[in-house]
Chain A
């Protein structure tokens, strides 16, 4: 339907990825870090779909990769939140800067 150049779509994808990366670096709350990761994963999905549509129309590889990424993202979110809840129980905080027992 749309007929924009592929670079425009990829610009959105890259920008979203680095927005997520910036959030991942700066945020200290673990749940917001998780949200930043979700943004980065979505950027990658956009990337796959754009390449699939523009460079290899008629094929399904990009689509399937996106589906698998979404699946794994769901699994990852579930496990990550379980870990975060466990950490909260133990340390009474989910601030990543306060959780630094694992050191020399």
Chain B
């Protein structure tokens, strides 16, 4: 086992542990922080899989953006220190069963398919390639989805402002 592989298992277990904590803690702010840790570890996983760019994007967007947004909305809607109510037994049973069987089903599907993969295949992706791919309109070019997504972001921004805008009471 190489050091890199050891780090992978470490990071993976951190992702899962913090994920479980995120959804199980009864204190909202802790939940947000656990989510933050989990997402940082996902970024580390991307880094381990030779995707430095995506790792950077993950940190910037999730950690710098979404988590902060969630924390702010928590401040707006929640009183500090208030514990979340426990979910009902029936519902947790039902959800647990569904999730467990879903997991078993999907994973057995995966094992049945047993993808042929070379563990040591390695090809570094350079920023130049990503830039060309993203703004290329020929074969394997992604400029159209890129533009569509940029419009979507603009629309989401305007929409979020419009929805959250405080209307005067009549």
Contacts and interface: CB of A to CB of B under 8 A. Distances in A.
A29 to B, nearest CB: 6
Interface string A62-104: 0110111011111111110111111011000010000000000
B107 A11 contact: yes
Contacts of A2: 2, 4-5, 7-8, 48-49
B interface majority secondary structure? helix
Interface string A33-51: 0111011001001100111
Interface in B140-159: 140, 142, 145, 149, 152-153, 155-157, 159
A35 B62 CA distance: 11
Given A18-B103, A35-B31, A4 B70 contact: no
Interface residues of A, number: 72
A38 B110 CA distance: 23
Interface of A: 1-12, 14-23, 25-29, 31-32, 34-36, 38-39, 42, 45-46, 49-51, 53-55, 57-61, 63-64, 66-68, 70-79, 81-86, 88-89, 94
Given A12-B15, A27-B23, 20 more contacts: A3-B4, A3-B120, A5-B117, A7-B111, A9-B45, A16-B38, A17-B103, A18-B102, A19-B23, A20-B23, A21-B98, A31-B73, A46-B45, A49-B49, A54-B121, A67-B54, A67-B134, A70-B61, A75-B155, A88-B76
26 contacts: A3-B5, A4-B5, A4-B9, A9-B8, A9-B45, A22-B23, A25-B94, A28-B84, A31-B73, A32-B23, A32-B31, A38-B66, A39-B23, A53-B50, A55-B117, A63-B51, A67-B57, A70-B58, A71-B153, A72-B149, A74-B156, A82-B159, A83-B163, A84-B73, A84-B77, A94-B77
Interface of B: 2, 4-5, 7-9, 12, 15-16, 19-20, 22-24, 28, 31-32, 35, 38-39, 42, 45-46, 48-51, 53-54, 57-58, 61-62, 65-66, 69-70, 73-74, 76-78, 84-85, 87, 91-92, 94-96, 98-100, 102-103, 106-107, 110-111, 115, 117-123, 125, 129-130, 133-134, 140, 142, 145, 149, 152-153, 155-157, 159-161, 163-164, 166
